[in-house]
Amino acid sequence: MKTATEIPSVLTVYETGAGQYLLRIGDLKFRPLIVEVSKHLPGATSLIVVTPKDTKVFTVSSNGTVSEPEPEPIESEPELDEETKEAIAQQEELPIPGEAEDIKPVRRRTRKSTEIAGHPEPCGRCSGSGQTRIILPDGKPSDTACPVCKGEGTIQRYGNRR
């Protein structure tokens, strides 16, 4: 059984108008073909060349040489009325934001390294005494450090105070 494999074209030529052609090239190593093909196009005046990397527009002279066209001149600014000219002049006199010398740098408030998050409150288990009673295995009571506040009598609470 035979199989067919699609092979991309090396060069494709399209006529877009009278004397205008579009050349699409599949690989940059075939760039020299553009000049040779342009010599054989009847009445070619401009070429649009599309490569995998970019698109360029060329003009073709009567002797068959290909050259890039001169860039079009940039149009001058349109005439402005007096009111608009005055508004522009006023804005140009103002200082540029961020470059004014009277602006003071922003100082960020730093947290003291000794500050601890939250706020202390009396322990609810030992009522702030730091001691709690436990029953030993032989059934006798004994006092020991509170397991919640670890004998300090206060715990750190977070959020709103009660």
Per-residue pLDDT tens, the chain, 162 aa: give them: 778 888 878 888 888 888 888 888 888 788 788 778 877 887 888 888 888 888 888 777 766 566 665 555 555 566 778 888 888 888 888 877 666 566 677 788 777 766 677 888 888 888 888 898 888 889 888 889 998 888 888 888 887 766
Q: Is residue 30 part of a domain?
A: yes
Cα 130 from Cα 34, distance rounded (Å): 93
Residue 81 · residue 68 · CB < 8 Å = no
Whole-prediction pTM: 0.37
Domain limits at 55? 11-67
User: What is the pLDDT, as a whole number, of residue 70?
Assistant: 53
Q: Is residue 28 part of a domain?
A: yes
Q: Is residue 81 part of a domain?
A: no
Q: Is residue 141 part of a domain?
A: yes
Number of domains in the chain: 2
Cα 162 from Cα 160, distance rounded (Å): 6
32, 52, 67 - which closes a domain? 67
Please give the helix or strand (H or E) that residue 49 lies within, else none.
strand 46-50
Q: Is residue 6 part of a domain?
A: no
